[in-house]
Amino acid sequence: MTFTIRDEEFYKTLVTFKVENVLFRVPEDDFKDRSEVFRDMFSIPQATVFSNAVTSEGYSDSNPIILEGVKADDFRALLRHLYAKKYANAKELSKSEWIGIHALAHMWGFDDARKESKETLSSMHDSVTKFELGTRFDYDDWIRKAYEELCARLEPLTVDEAKRIGLEAAIHISRLREHRCKSMASPKAVKASQHNSGFDFYVDRDREGSCQCPYCSTVVKKEADTTPSYPSAFNSVRNNGAYGRKYPCSTCNITLLGECPSAAEIVSKEISDEIHKLIPPKTSKPTARRIVTNSGRRTLTSASARVPVDLFS
């Protein structure tokens, strides 16, 4: 007598999920192997008798596993990512799909999908969305990066962008952008006299009291030049003050760097330091995870997610 056996590798048990009003039927092992949350969920004993019939939740369209609080489009994007290597016709994922993938992977503990989607999203050129995702998933490094990009770009925040990042962040970014703008200015020379011809004469800029802050007119003094020595070819230029000119203004609490060749680098460092004060690195927090059951059903809700304890505290 010949016995029929099931192949260990290619005999898959399919499971049916209901997301919103859409049914998805996929191999169970892919979820159990890749997600601790689903692995624990599938280990929950099911109710066995309903109307004298054995129930198999998730193994028929009439009795699916319900994924509450999840969008069908996001779940479909996650499946496309999970099976991208298996299907040659897998479509290229959009930014919104990557965001959906990351949200579900973060929630359900799909570590590989979470890492890949995070890497993809971190390289996008959308600072406001990067800020929103950093806030949503508690990625303080993303928030700091978004701050730096929004402070450095030429265009100011729009009303819509300010609403998206919130009033507090918008105020901080506007303040740092103003600091950058003011710091890159040069002091104005003090007018000594006006000739009858109509030409103005100014005090030698290297003399004491010869320069003023362009914003408050406070007399500013050139800071001692601590710039390292340059090659001899540049010495004559440096001695004339083209290098290392910094004019601190105590009234405006800024240093005028418009005549300093390393002004952009200095201001970027100042802004970066200030951003780190606003958003200091956080110590890693333990994760909380639990499976929520609903009258014996293996219904998975957003409360089943692995989320940081005291998120945003």
34 with 97, same domain?
A: yes
Please state, in angstroms and rounded to a whole number, the distance separating the CA atoms of residues 78 and 71. 11
30 with 153, same domain?
A: no
**pLDDT by residue (tens digit) across 174-225?**
999 999 999 999 998 866 554 445 544 444 455 555 789 999 999 998 886 5
Strands 53-54 and 49-50: antiparallel
173 with 273, same domain?
A: yes
- Residue 276: pLDDT band by 50, 70, 90 thresholds? very high
Task: Reduce the DSSP state of residue 265 to 3 states and report it.
Answer: helix
156 with 270, same domain?
A: yes
Question: Burial letters for 212-236: b for 16+ Cβ neighbours within 10 Å, e otherwise?
Answer: bbbeeeeebebeeeeeeeeeeeeee
Q: How many domains, the chain?
A: 3
Task: Reduce the DSSP state of residue 46 to 3 states and report it.
Answer: coil
25 with 118, same domain?
A: yes
Q: Within a domain: residue 134?
A: no
| pLDDT over 60 at 24, yes or no | yes
Q: Within a domain: residue 266?
A: yes
Judge contact between 173 and 156, C-beta under 8 A: no
204 with 176, same domain?
A: no
150 with 271, same domain?
A: yes
Please state, in angstroms and rounded to a whole number, the distance separating the CA atoms of residues 45 and 297. 9
39 with 98, same domain?
A: yes
Judge contact between 104 and 119, C-beta under 8 A: no
Name the CA dihedral angle for 99, 104, 109, 115, rounded to a multiple of 10 degrees.
Answer: -10
Domain enclosing residue 268, as ranges: 139-181+262-281
Residue matched to tokens 């892919």: 30
Residue matched to tokens 């100014």: 202
93 with 48, same domain?
A: yes
171 with 57, same domain?
A: no
78 with 43, same domain?
A: yes
**pLDDT by residue (tens digit) across 63-107?**
999 999 999 999 999 999 988 866 545 568 899 999 999 999 999
101 with 199, same domain?
A: no
